[in-house]
Amino acid sequence: MNELPLILFGVLSQAAAGLALVLALLPLVLRDRAADLAGATRLAGRLVFPFAVLAVLASFFHLGDPLGGFRALSHVGGSWMSNEVVLAALFTAVAAALFCLHQWQPASAGAIRAATWATALVGLVLVFATGMIYQLPTRPEWYHWSNLLAGYVTALLLGALLMALLALWKAEAPASAARLLGAVALAGAGLLAVSLIFYAPYLTGVSAVTAEAVFGNLLFWARLAVGIGLPVYTAAQMARGQQPGRAVLSLALVVAFAGEIVARGIFYTSVLDQVPFF
């Protein structure tokens, strides 16, 4: 698949943004019990940066001239891809700062909280910029607001499940944190449901061929059944304050990750494979 580097960039950067978001949200529910999740928080705070770096590295494999990649900054403000490059660099920079603060802890908890929020907010804007790249009026199959939500689905789902797994791994699993993470993952699945409800009739209307390539693809349904189904089952458990088993949670994260890659693959191939007029 030609678009694999782009897919990896999207999924990894969105997972990183989601992880930063849940890291920013968790203190709001833990309040004075933040120490109950200190180990997992520190680990997650250091994990955002390598995810961002891997995402950026993957994106270079998409370029025919990777060494000339800096020229993508030539059209900032005019091209969403230029905007995305700036935001990806900024996100990696704030994630690096967050990494340093968690690794060496030279600063107060307040500074770490500020850096976490900065990383989360830049990450969320990056997810938006990535979505805007495909809001092309010349590609009516993509030109629908629901496609802007796809990145947030990935961010919420993977960010919450990743954090939940880290907490379980560190044997730190306060019920309030589990409830929040479950709710965030379910919110991601909810966004997907809303997207599909509006997008399916729209796509069928603008291109029956692309609609068939999406909804007639077994992988599309497998992703929904497994890549969304198992994470939703797990997240529902957490939202009730229960702790899923480590094996189930690990499997849910793996299938969610694979599901997002599959979904993004269908997103590209269902359109780009249909239109080679040249």
111-150 residues near other proteins, rule: CB under 8 A: 133-134, 136-140
Q: Which amino acid is at 116?
A: T
Minimum separation from the CB atom of position 244 to other proteins (A): 39
Task: Name the residue nearer to other proteins (CB basis): 59 or 234.
Answer: 59
CB 258 within 8 A of CB 227: yes
**Residue 172 CB, nearest distance to other proteins (Å)?**
42
Check residue 38 for interaction with other proteins (CB under 8 A). Answer: no
* Crossing angle for the helix pair 109-133 and 4-30, to the nearest 10 degrees: 140
Instruction: Check residue 63 for interaction with other proteins (CB under 8 A).
Output: yes
Calpha distance 74→47 (Å, rounded): 31
**Lookup: tokens for 2:** 């030609």
CB of 264 to other proteins, least distance (A): 14
Q: Name which of 72 and 178 has its Cβ closer to other proteins.
A: 72
Rounded Cα distance, 153 and 122, in Å: 17
The contact mask relative to other proteins for 171-210 (x = CB under 8 A, - = no) is: --------------------------------------x-
Cβ-contact 88, 56 below 8 angstroms = yes
Residue 272 touches other proteins, criterion: CB under 8 A? yes
Q: In angstroms, what is the minimal distance from the CB of 134 to other proteins?
A: 8
Amino acid at 67: L
> Residue from 28, 31, 32, 65 that binds other proteins (CB under 8 A)?
65
Task: Give min distance, CB of 8 to other proteins, in A.
Answer: 15
Strand intervals (E) in 175-236: none
* Separation of CA 236 from chain center: 19
> Among positive and negative, which fits the CA dihedral 73, 136, 59, 229?
positive
- Which one of residues 46, 62, 144, 179 is an interface residue with other proteins (CB under 8 A)? 62
Task: Quote the CA–CA distance of 56 and 5 in Å, as a whole number.
Answer: 9
Closest contact distance (angstroms) between CB of 211 and other proteins is 12
Contact 22, 184 (CB under 8 A): yes
With respect to other proteins, which residue has the nearer C-beta, 126 or 161?
Answer: 126
Q: Which residues bind other proteins (CB under 8 A)?
A: 62-65, 68-69, 71-75, 78-82, 85, 133-134, 136-140, 209, 272, 274-278
